[in-house]
Amino acid sequence: MQHRNLGSQGLRVSALGLGTMGMSMAYGASNDDEGIATIRRAHELGIDFFDTAELYGAGTGSNEILLGKAVKDFRDEVVLATKFGFDMSAQLLSPGFDSRPENIRKVAENSLRYLQSDHIDLFYQHISDPDIPVEEVAGVVGELITEGKVKYFGLSNVGPQYIRRAHAVTPVSVLQYEYSLFEREVEEKILRALRELGIGLVPYSPLGRGFLAGQVKPASEYPADDMRSWDDRWQGENYTYNVHAIEQLKNLADTKGITTAQLALAWLLAQGEDVAPIPGTRSTKRLEENAGAVDVQLSAADLARIAEILPHGSAGSRYPAAMLSSFTTD
């Protein structure tokens, strides 16, 4: 497994990480034993970067507890990232925000307990809070770093000016943002700012919530507790367009003897040494497939062909308008 440096504060992680959200929510019924087995197999494959959040346990800590249990025997060999910033008493699809200093500290203490750790390697603000200046947020995380409870500061789902303001108070090592062949918004302004400031990028949903893995069905065929049942990209004409794009990507992948998912992850890895995607999966077989992407070399012709197939990303919005409106894009 290859490794990459993210930010300028010393954070070093495997080129591919593992997102654990789907082991607890968003993709239908899950099984803890399966999730733990997948996390431990990831470690065996050299993956040492694991992503969770308070939100993924709906405030119960279940996803962090799962991750902490899985890595207990090799905690010092891995980087654990978690997040704060939501009001967990609110509805998940129309959440409130809570980045008050006292809540950041409360979430940190809970996460330390759930993860069975004396420190959080990477602590992200999951989403901006319109009532709390980012300078105040960055200051509190800086205090946690000084106290040894947190090693590195990260942001998520925010734009260039917000990043600059935070970075001026406490150095930001990483921005987590949706980025894939399907979702390219980060390229226009955000990626340029990250590179100017020396901040790494951690793409979430790097396989388009599974669409880029090539095994999909229309929204109506997913259960109600699977977010793909309401995702705009799985609906009507959007779905038809996206399936056609996947078919073309598969044809290209076939010529290289790789899978569509490996092609999509290799494309992301080719965007820069400061990019470390965190594909999520519950399956050890899918995990092993994803890990193989680090060995894929894409030629200039391959990259040009991918650009022809998906010049601007997918058809359909990545989130409902109400959720997107809560993201800070400036």
Residue 326 lies in a domain: no
Residue 92 lies in a domain: yes
DSSP 8-state assignment for residue 221: G
Strand 86-87 vs strand 79-84: parallel, antiparallel, or unpaired?
Answer: unpaired
Would you say residue 288 has pLDDT above 60?
A: yes
Residue 267 lies in a domain: yes
Which residues carry out catalysis? Answer: 56
Residue 314 lies in a domain: no
- pLDDT tens-place string over residues 187-209: 989 999 999 999 999 999 999 88
Q: Which residues form the domain of 29?
A: 3-214+261-297
Would you say residue 100 has pLDDT above 90?
A: yes
Count of structural domains within the chain? 1
- CA 239 vs. chain centroid, Å, equals 23
Question: Which whole number is the average pLDDT over 130-155?
Answer: 98
Q: How confident is the model at residue 24 (pLDDT cuts 50, 70, 90)?
A: confident
Would you say residue 27 has pLDDT above 80?
A: no
- pLDDT tens-place string over residues 302-326: 999 999 999 888 866 656 555 555 5
For position 29, which CATH number holds? 3.20.20.100
pLDDT at position 160 is 97
Residue 32 lies in a domain: yes
Does pTM top 0.85 for this prediction?
A: yes
pLDDT at position 302 is 97
In the sheet with 49-51, reading across from the earlier edge strand, the strands are 18-19, 49-51, 79-84, 120-125, 150-156, 172-178, 200-204
- pLDDT tens-place string over residues 59-74: 788 899 999 999 999 9
Considering the chain, what percentage of its residues have pLDDT values greater than 70? 90
pLDDT at position 15 is 98
Residue 60 lies in a domain: yes
Residue 302 lies in a domain: no
Residue 117 lies in a domain: yes
- Alpha helix segments (H runs only) across 178-235: 190-197
Q: Which residues pair with 156 in a beta bridge?
A: 176
- pLDDT tens-place string over residues 222-247: 777 776 775 777 777 888 888 899 99
Considering the chain, what percentage of its residues have pLDDT values greater than 90? 71
